[in-house]
Structure 1
C-alpha cells in the first residue's frame, strides 16, 4: 500500500482498533484524547490498548477502552510469544502506532492490521516507519505532542474535533480515594516532588519555600505526591515545616488513587512529568516547572499560561542528567515565580 497516495481510509462501522502506546505516563495521558473522537465517529468500535505494567492501572480506568494488552518488558522469550499471540487475536483492521520505536512498530506488524498507521519517517525512531504502511505527515519538532497525536484521527476520517476531551472527566473515582485522607477535603494543592528525569527535578529548598507560603499566606492544605524515590525529600519537608496541613502520600498511592486525589484539588505544582499530563486530561490547572524540556512541545493541556521557566541558553537540552551545570535551569526557578502563577487559582 502506497502511504503517500492515501490520506484517509475506509473503515467498517464497528472496526477493531489497536492502539499501541506503552511508554511514559505523560504520553499515555495525552494519547487517551484520541478515544472520545474515535468512539463518537465509530460508536461500535472495539478499542484494544497495548501498554506496559507501569501505566496499566491508568489505562484500565478509561471507560472507552475495551481491552488492555500488557507487555511484560524483561519477560524474555515467553513474554514475546505471549504478546505476539494476543496481538494476532485482536484481529484489528487498523493499528495506531503512537510509540514510534522499533518495538511498537514490530507489534503493529505482528498484529497484521490491514491499515498500520504510524509517524512519518522523519518523526520516528529505530526504523519504526518501516513496519507501518500509512504515515501521518512530518511535523515541526515544536508541535505540541498532543496535537501530533491528533493527526492520526485525520487518516481515520475524523477531520475535526470541536472540543478536546480525555474521557475521564465524568469518571466516578470515589472508590479510589485514599483512606488516610479525609473524604471531604477542600482547598488543597497537590505538589509533585519529582519526575523520572533527574534534570527535571526542582530543588528541595524551592519546594520548602513554596509550601511554607501556601500554608501561611493562602491557608491551603498541601498533599505531597511522587514515587519511592521522592520520599526522602518529602520526609525532610515534613520535618522542617511541621504542619498538620501537609499530607505526605509519596510512594503511598496507586495510580487510580493519585488520579482521584488530583481531580479534587485546586491546582497542582510540579515538573514536566506524567502527573502533569494526567492533570491536563482531568482539566486540573498545573503550574509546570520547565528546565530541560520545551513547554511548546510538552506543556500540559490547558496550562501553557502556567508554565514557569528560567531564561538560560542551554534550555531545552533534553538531557536526563544535567551535563555539568548543576541543573541551572531548575535552580533559577524561585518560589515567588510559582506563587505568582498560583494567584487566582
Structure 2
C-alpha cells in the first residue's frame, strides 16, 4: 500500500473508537507551525483522538496547551542515544495506533518506526531525505519537491483517509502572554497596532543586512508616520537589535526579550511584519498577519508564507505562488541583500496603505 491513500475516513479508522496518533516533527519553529495543519485536521475530524507530538525543546512552547495536542514527548537534541532511547520508551508506553513522520529524516523516521504503532506513515521516496522512507510502512502520494510544505503535510491527512477541510494552523497562547502584549502595545505603542521588523533567522545566509533594515527608517517615517515600529528577534539577534535601536531611537527593540507565546500574542495585535525566511514569518502567516517576506537562497514556493495577504520578494522581485505545479518559475538562489530597502518599502506601501 506504499504511496497509496484512501478516500474514506471510516475505512481507515473504523477499528478505532478513539485512535491514538503520534506526530513526529521535531523542529524547527516554522516547520512545527506548518505541521499544525495535521494536528488540527485530525482534531477537526476525530475529536476523540489522542494526539501526541514528539518535538525538540525549542518548539515545545508552540504545542503546550494547544487544543489539538494531548501529549508532548520532548527529545533533547544533546542527549544522544540515551535521549533517543528515553523518548522511544515514552512513546511506546503511550500505545499509539498510528505514527506520522512529518520530518523525513532518519532520526524522525526511526522514532516513528520504533514507536510500536502498527501504522507508520511517511513521505514518498522522492521527497524523503537520508533514505528515511525505508523505515515507514505507508507513504504519501508522490508529488513535486517544490510543492509548499503545508500542502505536503495535507497529504498525510489524505493518507489517513480524512476529508479535506480548511487548513488550520491555530497557535496556542496564554492569558499571561496576552496581557503582556496588550500592556506593551498600550504603553510603548500608545495603543496603535505596530509594524514588526523581525531581524533574525536560523541561518546567516537568511539574514537581511542590518544596514537594509536601518535604511527602512525614512520610508517608514514618511509612509507610516503614526505607526509604531517594533524590532523582534531571538537571543542571537540582541546585538543587531541594539544597533538598530541606537540608530533609530523611535523604534522599540525587543530582540531576545519575547517568548514564543509572547510573540504570538504581539503578532495578533500587529499591523504587519517585515521578515526573512524564519519561524516568526510562519507564525505571522498562521495568524493571518500580513507579511513582506524577503527570500534569498531558499525556495519561497516551498517555504514561503502560506495564505493570502503576503508579499514575497526574492532578488527584489515579487514572487507569486503558482496556481499549478505544472508551471513553476525557475528556482532562484540569491543573496538576501539583492532585495533593497526601497523595494521592501514599495511593497509595504502597495499592500498596507490600500
TM-score, normalised with respect to structure 1:
0.89
2:281 paired with 1:281: no
Q: Give the CA deviation at 1:144.
A: 0.6
Q: Pick closer, same or farther for the CA change 1:61–1:212 going to 2, 3 Å.
A: farther
SS of the equivalent of 2:196 reads: strand
Residue in structure 1 matching 2:233, options 223, 226, 231: 226
SS of the equivalent of 1:82 reads: helix
Contact 1:21 1:97 in 2 (8 A): yes
SS of the equivalent of 2:129 reads: coil
State the alpha-carbon separation in 2 of the partners of residues 181 and 44 from structure 1. 38
Pairs within 5 Å for 1:45-60:
45-60=49-64
State the alpha-carbon separation in 1 of the partners of residues 3 and 236 from structure 2. 46
Deviates more, 1:226-235 or 1:26-35: 226-235
Contact 2:53 2:71 in 1 (8 A): yes
Match of 1:297 in 2: 302
State the alpha-carbon separation in 1 of the partners of residues 180 and 90 from structure 2. 29
Match of 1:153 in 2: 157
| Cα-to-partner distance string for 1:152-201 (whole Å, 9 max, x where unaligned) | 0011111322x222233897652453865536732311111120111111
Q: Give the CA deviation at 1:106.
A: 0.7
Pairs within 5 Å for 1:209-288:
209-219=215-225, 220-243=227-250, 246-288=251-293
Residue in structure 1 matching 2:22, options 11, 18, 27: 18
SS of the equivalent of 1:268 reads: strand
State the alpha-carbon separation in 2 of the partners of residues 181 and 256 from structure 1. 15
Match of 1:82 in 2: 86
Contact 1:291 1:315 in 2 (8 A): no
State the alpha-carbon separation in 2 of the partners of residues 273 and 5 from structure 1. 33
Q: Pick closer, same or farther for the CA change 1:5–1:257 going to 2, 3 Å.
A: closer
State the alpha-carbon separation in 2 of the partners of residues 6 and 283 from structure 1. 31
Aligned residues: 331
| Cα-to-partner distance string for 1:10-38 (whole Å, 9 max, x where unaligned) | 21231101000002111101000122221
Q: Give the CA deviation at 1:278.
A: 0.8
Contact 1:190 1:225 in 2 (8 A): yes
Which runs of at least 4 in structure 1 moved beyond 4 Å after TM superposition? 169-173, 178-181, 311-315
Pairs within 5 Å for 1:102-251:
102-161=106-165, 163-168=166-171, 174-175=178-179, 177=181, 182=186, 185-219=191-225, 220-243=227-250, 246-251=251-256
Q: Give the CA deviation at 1:56.
A: 0.6
SS of the equivalent of 2:130 reads: coil
Q: Give the CA deviation at 1:214.
A: 1.6
| Cα-to-partner distance string for 1:39-83 (whole Å, 9 max, x where unaligned) | 121110010011001101112142211111100111134322211
Contact 1:292 1:315 in 2 (8 A): no
State the alpha-carbon separation in 2 of the partners of residues 128 and 41 from structure 1. 28
TM-score, normalised with respect to structure 2:
0.87
Q: Pick closer, same or farther for the CA change 1:160–1:192 going to 2, 3 Å.
A: same
| Cα-to-partner distance string for 1:75-106 (whole Å, 9 max, x where unaligned) | 13432221111110121111111010010111
Contact 2:6 2:159 in 1 (8 A): yes
Match of 1:324 in 2: none
SS of the equivalent of 1:206 reads: helix
Unaligned runs of 5+ in 1: 318-327
Q: Pick closer, same or farther for the CA change 1:229–1:315 going to 2, 3 Å.
A: farther
Contact 1:212 1:241 in 2 (8 A): no
Contact 1:118 1:134 in 2 (8 A): yes
Q: Give the CA deviation at 1:333.
A: 1.1
State the alpha-carbon separation in 1 of the partners of residues 37 and 123 from structure 2. 17
The root-mean-square deviation of aligned C-alpha atoms, in Å, is 2.4
